[in-house]
């Protein structure tokens, strides 16, 4: 349709794709186990992009076969058009001794607002029935409502003005999550420790950009390929607690891919380290 601006696009060269495959997954929920089959694109850097899932293996395999028919991985990528991004998305500053990359983290207001409105409504209703309530229960409920309101306000304010700043020097990769009203958090890793910078795309799961060391990268590959052992799954729980990740929820999928490629490129420019 006319007059509808197109979303920013980032080309993914075919030579960066390893395979399209079907993997089986077991999900435990409310005491029951459920098996589903996922159709994913595995990139050569170890990242996994899940395009489709079904409880029917035949449907998943048919979808995968269609992808393999449509995408000829042996063919060169056709488009070399430059990519343009909306202002305020990802910003890069190059200095003599460092490179800075910035982007914003999403505000928590959209999630907090319904809870805040409901709590306020209950509090107003409570004030309306005050003449008909004993003092004890009224004051107890008032304190509870005030605590809920304060919690909602804190929750909403946490995301205001938040942004992620990555600083690349010759030796280190440092990420800082800044906020307008609350403290910042920082992690730093030596460039030589970085094995991979990758973005997994699973629509029904939280997205993040992972900064992986060699053992973490190997474990991530096994999980993405659907071949982890029980020991690997236990290690994955520990991995989720200690792995370095960059929040990218506010960015479009194409911008997340662009950021992955950009960080790999800038890391190489600044330190000569080639991350997958």
Q: pTM above the 0.85 mark?
A: no
Q: Say which residue, 137 or 204, is predicted with more confidence.
A: 137
pLDDT at residue 100, as a whole number: 92
Burial of 45 from C-beta contacts in 10 A (0-12 / 13-18 / 19+)? buried
Rounded CA gap, 107 and 96, in Å?
33
Rounded CA gap, 13 and 79, in Å?
9
Using 50, 70 and 90 to split pLDDT, how confident is the model at 6? Answer: very low
pLDDT at residue 28, as a whole number: 72
Locate the DSSP E strands across 4-97. 17-29, 32-43, 48-54, 91-94
pLDDT at residue 77, as a whole number: 59
Question: Which range among 52-66, 70-84, 94-108, 262-276 shows the weakest confidence by mean pLDDT?
Answer: 70-84
pLDDT at residue 5, as a whole number: 41
CA distances in angstroms from 138 to 118, 124, 133, 135, 208, listed in the order given: 18, 12, 6, 5, 45
pLDDT at residue 9, as a whole number: 64
| C-alpha triplet 52, 106, 157: angle, nearest 5° | 140
Looking at residues 212-223, what average pLDDT do you find? 83
Report the share of the chain in percent with pLDDT over 90.
Answer: 18
Using 50, 70 and 90 to split pLDDT, how confident is the model at 224? Answer: confident
For residue 227, pLDDT over 80 is answered with: no
Looking at residues 137-156, what average pLDDT do you find? 81
Rounded CA gap, 248 and 177, in Å?
11
What are the domain boundaries of the chain?
14-70, 109-158
267: how many CB neighbours lie within 10 A of its CB?
Answer: 21
- pLDDT tens-digit map of 161-198: 578 889 999 999 999 887 666 667 889 999 999 999 98
For residue 46, pLDDT over 70 is answered with: yes
Using 50, 70 and 90 to split pLDDT, how confident is the model at 110? Answer: low
Looking at residues 153-164, what average pLDDT do you find? 70
């Amino acid at each position: 349709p006319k007059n509808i601006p197109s979303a920013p696009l980032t080309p993914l060269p075919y030579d960066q794709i390893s395979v399209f495959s079907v993997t089986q997954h077991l999900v435990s929920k409310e005491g029951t186990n459920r098996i589903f089959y996922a159709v994913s694109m595995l990139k050569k850097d170890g990242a996994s992009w899940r395009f489709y899932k079904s409880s029917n293996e035949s449907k998943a395999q048919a979808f995968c076969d269609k992808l393999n028919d449509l995408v000829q991985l042996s063919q060169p990528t056709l488009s070399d058009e430059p990519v343009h991004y909306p202002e305020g998305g990802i910003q890069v500053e190059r200095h003599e001794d460092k490179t800075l990359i910035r982007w914003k983290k999403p505000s928590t207001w959209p999630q907090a607002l319904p809870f805040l409105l409901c709590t306020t409504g209950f509090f107003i209703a409570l004030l309306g029935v005050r003449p008909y309530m004993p003092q004890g229960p009224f004051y107890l409920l008032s304190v509870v409502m005030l605590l809920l309101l304060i919690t909602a306000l804190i929750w909403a304010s946490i995301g205001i003005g938040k942004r992620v700043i990555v600083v690349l020097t010759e030796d280190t990769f440092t990420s800082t999550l800044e906020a307008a009203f609350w403290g910042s958090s920082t992690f730093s890793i030596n460039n030589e420790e970085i094995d991979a910078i990758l973005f997994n795309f699973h629509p029904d799961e939280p997205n993040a950009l992972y900064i992986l060391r060699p053992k973490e990268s190997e474990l991530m590959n096994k999980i993405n390929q659907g071949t982890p052992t029980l020991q690997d799954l236990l290690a994955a729980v520990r991995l989720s607690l200690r792995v370095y990740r960059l929040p990218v929820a506010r960015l479009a999928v194409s911008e997340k891919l662009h950021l992955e490629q950009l960080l790999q490129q800038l890391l190489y420019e600044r330190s000569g380290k080639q991350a997958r």
